[in-house]
Amino acid sequence: MIRRRTPPASPSRYASRAIARGVAVLASSALIAAATGAVAQKIDTPSADRRADTPGLTGITSGSFNGHGGPVRAVASHDGGRAVVTGGFDSAIIVWNLTPAFARQVLRHHDSTVNAIAALPGNCFASGGEDARIAVWCGSDDQPSRVLNGHTAPIAALAVSPDKTILASASWDHTIRLWPLDVTGSVTAGAPRIIEGHKGPVNGLAFTADGSALVSAGYDGQVRLTGLSARAVVLNTKVDAPVNAVAVSLSGEVVTAGADGFVRFLTAALEPAGAVDLGKGPLTTIALSPDGTRLATAGMRTAVTLIDAKARSVSAEILGPGLPVWSVAFSADGRELYTGGADRAVRRWDPATGRPAGVDIATAVEDVTANDPHPGARVFRACKACHGLDAADTNRAGPTLHGIMGRRIATQPGYAYSDALKRMDIDWTADTVARLFEVGPNAFLPGTKMPEQTITNPEDRKALVEWLASKTVP
């Protein structure tokens, strides 16, 4: 049984403060308790077994990716649709390869929750954290190429202008910053433009399709449209509840996800144009499909809901697993929907049907754990996204575990270990590997980039190391 902890404890520092102030995303402590309680329960059920019985939901070989040590807070399509980047409550960023499915990289920079991810040109992306920092990552580098400082409170959202010249960030410090980008996705030097006007945390951001304006929305219920040309117009209106996320349709219609469970539509001039009551508590996220026809939203108590953007009516509901869902994003071609859930998994769906997508990749990669009756094979499913077992399986986020028993820590040639690991004095044996997952990587290897997870059952640990030893003999 794999159990993953959520460092820092969820609800986080800012979330608790938010609850005190009644901030939208986490509208009440009861909801938080419901959300985190659900997490704890899920983890202790033998989900690996259950998934094995459910075609289409078997670990990373089908519709879902497992590797984060906490709920998945942010998700974005990346690398021309070949990858997905996710950010978690565990402060880790994971770059997932889609076909075949495996974790390419685990990246560490932020001190706490990664709240937002935005794809940038040039195979780069930006991450925004609860620590108020924005990091820009490019290619396969394991360190940010730039860190953008300036915000003084959590970053809640990031958006990139359609012509890819501006990265916009929304923060709980009540401001928005516009960071100039150059064609390679690098953020150019020069001070960002600061946009003020919100009277509370800014939670959502979206550019209009022609890039002429930026729409923002926040806890104060304000929806603001800021023109970006020289003679910039500013429009604003107030909706009936705090707004947690916003999207803008191709025709300029604005759609908000509210703390009261309403999806609201506003015209390009910010006049009310309808609402859908999903009725079940705060909505946390919203995304518009690239062709503008579909909206996806989800919330603390609301399943992933697909809305026909034109008819403004619910077209499908995805009833889990993995609820509540913290983040949704469409693939670049709109044919897949990615969701990041409280159960730490990232899932792929077909937005037309609401059914799991990506089942095909089961055949694209040899699954080392399939049809292996040894109980350790089942436990290893929690590791296989990141670790190969053969000497040659070296392009995953973690080092290959080939020859792990008897290997000194951080000595697999060609793998870029964290400095923390390089400084440690451990030889991997059945005992030390079992201990690693008894106390968890954060405690056993402080400073490691491996996401937090523990294996609570001693028999599972024993089975894992036994199986691992037999599969990794040099």
> Quick check: helix, strand or coil at residue 93?
strand
Q: How far is the CB of 416 from ligand HEC (least distance, A)?
A: 7
**Which pairs from 207-213 meet CB under 8 Å and 24+ separation?**
207/159, 207/160, 207/161, 207/162, 207/166, 207/168, 207/248, 208/248, 208/252, 208/268, 209/162, 209/248, 209/249, 209/250, 209/251, 209/252, 209/292, 210/162, 211/161, 211/162, 211/163
Residue nearest ligand HEC (C-beta atom): 383
Choose between 110 and 264: whose C-beta lies nearer to ligand HEC: 110
Answer whether 384's CB lies under 8 Å from 66's CB: no
In DSSP terms, 170 is beta-bridged to 157, 176
Choose between 232 and 391: whose C-beta lies nearer to ligand HEC: 391
Q: Is the omega angle on the peptide bond into residue 441 within 30 degrees of 0, that is, cis?
A: no
Q: How far is the CB of 243 from ligand HEC (least distance, A)?
A: 33
**CA–CA separation, 326 vs 71, rounded Å?**
8
Token code pair at residue 324: 């509540």
Choose between 8 and 451: whose C-beta lies nearer to ligand HEC: 451
Q: How, if at all, do strands 345-350 and 355-356 pair?
A: antiparallel
The pair phi, psi for residue 208, each rounded to 5°, is -70, 160
Q: How far is the CB of 241 from ligand HEC (least distance, A)?
A: 36
> Quick check: helix, strand or coil at residue 370?
coil
Q: What is the DSSP string of 185-249?
A: SPBPSSPPEEE---SS-EEEEEE-TTSSEEEEEETT-EEEEEE-SSS--EEEEE-SS-EEEEEE-
Choose between 38 and 48: whose C-beta lies nearer to ligand HEC: 48
Choose between 102 and 262: whose C-beta lies nearer to ligand HEC: 102
**CA–CA separation, 119 vs 122, rounded Å?**
9
Q: How far is the CB of 72 from ligand HEC (least distance, A)?
A: 12
Choose between 100 and 211: whose C-beta lies nearer to ligand HEC: 100
Token code pair at residue 57: 């939901």
Q: How far is the CB of 444 from ligand HEC (least distance, A)?
A: 10
Choose between 85 and 148: whose C-beta lies nearer to ligand HEC: 85
Binding site for ligand HEC (CB under 6 A): 67, 94, 103, 106, 382-383, 385-387, 397-399, 404, 409-410, 412, 417-418, 420-421, 428, 433, 437, 448-451
